Amino acid sequence: MKKNSISCWNCGNNVKNFFFCEHCKKIQKPIEHDPFQLFSLPYEFNIDIEKLEADFFNLQHKLHPDKFINANENEKLFSGIHSGNLNQSYHLLVDPISRAGILLKILINYDLKEKTVNDKILLFEIMELEEEKENLQQKKDALIFYKKIMGLIDDEIKTINNKFKEENYLEAAKIHTKLTYLKKIKNDFKKVEIEL
Amino acid sequence: MSLMQITEPNKKTNHVDDHTAIGIDFGTTNCVCTFFKNGVYNIITDEYKKKLIPSVVAFRGDNFFVGNQVLLNKDIPKENYIFSIKRHLTRDQSKKIIKISNDIILSPLEVSSIIFEYIKKLINEDLKEKTNKCVITVPAYFDELSRVAVKKAAINTGFDVLRLINEPTAAALAYGLEKKVKGNYFVYDLGGGTFDISLLKLSDGIFKVLRTGGNVNLGGDDIDLAIAKNICKKLLNTEFEQLTSKQKAELIMSSKKSKENYNNDHSSNLKIDFFENVNEIQVSNELIEESANDIIDTTIRISKSVLNESELNLSKIDGFILVGGSTKLDYLKKRLKESFEVKFFSDINPEIIVAQGAASHAHALLNGSENLLLDVTPLSLGIETAGGLMEKIIDRNSTIPITKEQEFTTFENGQTAIKINILQGEREICKYNRSLGEFVLSGIEPKPAGIPRIKVRFSVDSDGILDVSAYDENSGKKHIIEVQPVKQLNSNEVIEMIKDSVNNSKMDLEERSVLEAVIEGQRCLNELNYLNDEIITLCSKEEQKKIFVAIGDLKLKIKEKKKYEIKKLIDKLNLLTQNFAQKRIENSIGSGLVGQDLDNL
């Protein structure tokens, strides 16, 4: 990630790199960013997960607090923040549903948390699924239901990918809302079903 | 990417001047200390040339003895032994609960410090080089307060703790480095008093923990106890609880021996001279198997749930690495192999592998390394919100270090202070989780409910230790607090926490939805209360009547905790006040205009 010129806390030279000073090689003070910027990714839904993982490990190799045991307190602090940002950003990007959410926030300032859902058709669909989940009796049915939810999630992810490609963000936001519900059903279901 | 080419500033290319740091496995039953120097692992031995240092302390007069000094000294009565102190670290770290004599009562933290003191002496004698730098391993499932306690016990004796790492992660590190394995591996770690299961992804020098689970109060000690109880019931025709504490101690020691002999014989003869009229009994393999089954079943259940949550199939698992002294029991291996049809690895001594991993990490930290270790936090962290609900801020199994912020707001109009209760656990309702500490954020500017923006920041560092701070976005007021082991812990709560969370999540969800409705209703009432005067001025008599009747109904339903009715009434009130809201906006624009200079508009 590139940033507008800021001077290095250590040597005072202008720094363009986000993580390290080009001159004295010292770790830099973290600045505001979004997960896409952190990994130098374009604002697109479709990303190369393998490359993301490789970049993540590569950056952690350089920034993780384990690599700064002998450094001064400033550097230790910066390393902890950078490393934490990487962890959080990586996990947000790996999950397609959270990735879509971040993208919508960046592109059209859409935040599901601040909205009430008025889409009656969607709410009806979700209520039906919830009811179906409540009425599950047998392990066999539970498995079928789980597969159904997973199938729905997969389908919607394909659709949302197309909507992002078409730059139809409002439609993408609608699908994202649905995906968020589906994910919640899936997680609730898992919590209840796991036999400890 | 240009930044990828920049070399890491602290990496040394020159490995000649190795700095030595010790890896310490501070176990429930035994401690092992290892250091890595000039390419080889060295295990520190005690004055009896033994590598396993029993985690036992005993007092005689004013003198204390540690490890084999205790076990090999026949003059110290067994009932004076202080065993398994690590188990108490999860509970009452700083509470004076261990009575040595009439004058001396110690806390688990102090007893742990005695063991660290002894270890430090051994290290200094063995190493002939002064170092106080170490990496200490802790059970992955250890909670916040227990981690702080272990670190504190070591620091109190002069150790410089470079890092706390999780035991299964240390084992995977040792295993991965030595055997150069790649893929997804389970590390099954059953020690004397704790059980951990971690799922790791191993690839070129990267050790990433995917998920972890466990039970901090389950271990080989429990198998010994179960054997002792079964011996009483089946062979001695008596109740274990009726034995004297001396008999109990003797019988548990004998049971441990019979468990260790399991692998050799079909049945073992056990000498017991402390029980009247009985000199020798025969402990069959069946009795041992039966006694161990419950504990093994529990570990299998936990392992399966970790696998389930990971969204990986058993087919994607490349192997099971067995760690901890208790995995030496052949029967346990047999049971695991039946449940998980994958490859099993136990070819590095399961009793020393954890210390070996810690030593290699200690060396890597001081001297630089190509490897990267990414661990997770075992339990969710969050705070208490209105109505006694836990709002999770950091989910369990998040890769550490991690920092997360969450915004909170006030619940009452004009509220100027917020009490923040920090919680750890998986349940929806606060009281079922454990409180790590409380602090008060005061000096919030009085505003209507819901307007102030309070940001709470949770940071878990690479040791898995939490730091919480909170600030008011408007006033900039900041409070930083450190979570200290002040509150008493109940380890039984930890053990049962996730289990309970799963068993009760259905109930919790129901309870939560009721609480949420109540809160929502209360908020609606607060708002309307705040607008009371305006309602009277702006609404027609008929509108007023409808609104106030609905408010009365809502108050009643909140009291009765009827969530559906509450929701209906909130909707109804929203509808009834639509007209009012419109008038209010018009009015406020109007009143805003009154008295303003035309030029200012």
CA distance B242 to B244: 7
- A122 shares a domain with A68: no
Residues in B 276-335 with any Cβ partner in A closer than 8 A: 301-302, 304-305, 308-309
Measure CB to CB from residue A71 to each of B10, B403, B505 and give the nearest one: B10
At residue B498, the pLDDT reads 36
Judge whether residue B534 has pLDDT over 60. Answer: yes
A93: closest CA of chain B, how far (Å): 14
pLDDT in tens, B154-189: 998 999 999 999 999 999 999 888 888 889 999 999
CATH superfamily, domain at B19-220+292-374: ATPase, nucleotide binding domain (3.30.420.40)
Higher-pLDDT residue of A21, B485: A21
Minimal CA separation from A69 to chain B, in Å: 6
Chain B neighbors of A69, CB-CB under 8 A: 10, 162-163, 365-366
pLDDT category of residue B91 using cuts at 50, 70 and 90: low
- Asked whether residue A145 is domain-assigned, the answer is yes
Bigger pLDDT: B237 or A36?
A36
Q: Are B186 and B199 in contact (CB under 8 A)?
A: yes
- Tell me which of A35, A63, A94 is where a domain ends: A94
Which amino acid type is present at position B349?
N
Question: Which of A65, A90, A192 lies nearest to residue B401, judging by beta carbons?
Answer: A65
Give residue B38's region: left, alpha or beta (phi > 0; psi -120 to 50): left
Indicate whether B7 pLDDT > 70: no
Residue A105 inside a domain? The answer is no
Residue A102 lies in a domain: no
**Chain B window 335-394: which residues touch A at a Cβ cutoff of 8 Å?**
361, 364-366, 368, 372-374
Active-site annotation holds for B572: no
Q: What is the pTM of this model?
A: 0.78
Q: What is the pLDDT of residues B284-329, one digit of tens each?
A: 889 999 999 999 999 999 999 899 888 888 899 999 999 998 999 9
User: Can B86 be counted among the known catalytic residues?
Assistant: yes
Amino acid B86: pLDDT: 86
Per the structure, the count of domains in chain A is 2
Higher pLDDT, B476 or A84: A84
pLDDT band for position B151 (cuts 50, 70, 90): very high
Tokens matching residue A61: 């190799």
Does A122 share its domain with A77?
no
Q: What integer pLDDT is reported at residue B264 of this predicted model?
A: 65
| Whether residue A50 sits in one domain with residue A122 | no
pLDDT for position B599 = 38
- Please report residues of A whose CB lies closer than 8 A to that of B162: 69
Are A67 and B4 a contacting pair at CB < 8 A? Answer: no
Domain that holds residue A39: 2-94
Residue A65 maps to a domain: yes
| Alpha carbon of B245: minimum distance to chain A alpha carbons (Å) | 34
Domains of chain B, by residue range, sit at 19-220+292-374, 381-496, 531-593
Q: What is the pLDDT of residues A21-67, one digit of tens each?
A: 988 989 998 888 899 999 999 999 999 999 999 999 999 999 999 99
Model pLDDT, residue B92: 66
Cβ neighbour number for residue A161 with a 10 Å cutoff: 17
Confidence of residue B477 (pLDDT cuts 50, 70, 90): low
What's the pLDDT tens digit per position in B539-595? 888 888 888 888 888 888 888 888 888 888 888 888 888 778 777 777 655 444 443
Q: Is B25 a catalytic residue?
A: yes
On whether residue A100 sits in a domain, the answer given is no
In chain A, beta strands by DSSP E: 2-7, 14-17
Do both A69 and A36 map to the same domain? yes
pLDDT at B488: 33
Is A108 within a domain? no
The CATH number linked to A37 is 1.10.287.110
pLDDT band of B6, cuts 50, 70, 90: very low
Query: What is d(CA B28, CA B54) in angstroms, rounded to the nearest whole number?
Result: 9
Please give the Cα distance from A67 to B496 (Å, whole number): 36
- Give the least confident one: B25-29, B62-66, B481-485: B481-485
Same-domain check for residues A61 and A88: yes
Mean pLDDT calculated for residue range A116-137: 79
Confidence check: pLDDT of B193 > 80: yes
Do residue A178 and residue A147 come from a single domain?
Answer: yes
DSSP state of B460: E
A188 with B509: Cβ contact below 8 A? yes
Per-residue pLDDT, averaged over B227-253, amounts to: 87
Q: What are phi and psi of A96, to 5 degrees?
A: -60, -30
* Contact flag B7-A25 (C-beta cutoff 8 Å): yes
Residue of B nearest to A25 (CA): B9
**pLDDT higher than threshold 90 for residue A156:** yes
pLDDT at A100 over 90: yes
Q: Report the amino acid identity of residue B150.
A: V
Indicate which residue of B144, B167, B222, B375 is catalytic: B167
Highest CATH level, class, for B381-496? mainly beta
Task: Taking residues B523-544, report their average pLDDT.
Answer: 81
Say which residue, B485 or B380, is predicted with more confidence. B380
Q: Quick one: closest CA in A to B297, which residue?
A: A196
- Closest listed residue to residue B384, CA positions, set B427, B422, B436: B422
Residue A63 in domain? yes
In the predicted structure, residue B105 carries a pLDDT above the cut 50: yes
ipTM: 0.88
Does A107 map to a domain? no
User: pLDDT per residue over B424-444, tens digit each?
Assistant: 988 888 888 888 877 777 777
Catalytic residue among B46, B86, B196, B221: B86
Rounded CA separation B211/B307 (Å): 8
**B347 carries an active-site annotation:** no
Q: Verify that A86 and A9 share a domain, yes or no.
A: yes
Q: Which residues of A touch B209 (CB under 8 A)?
A: none
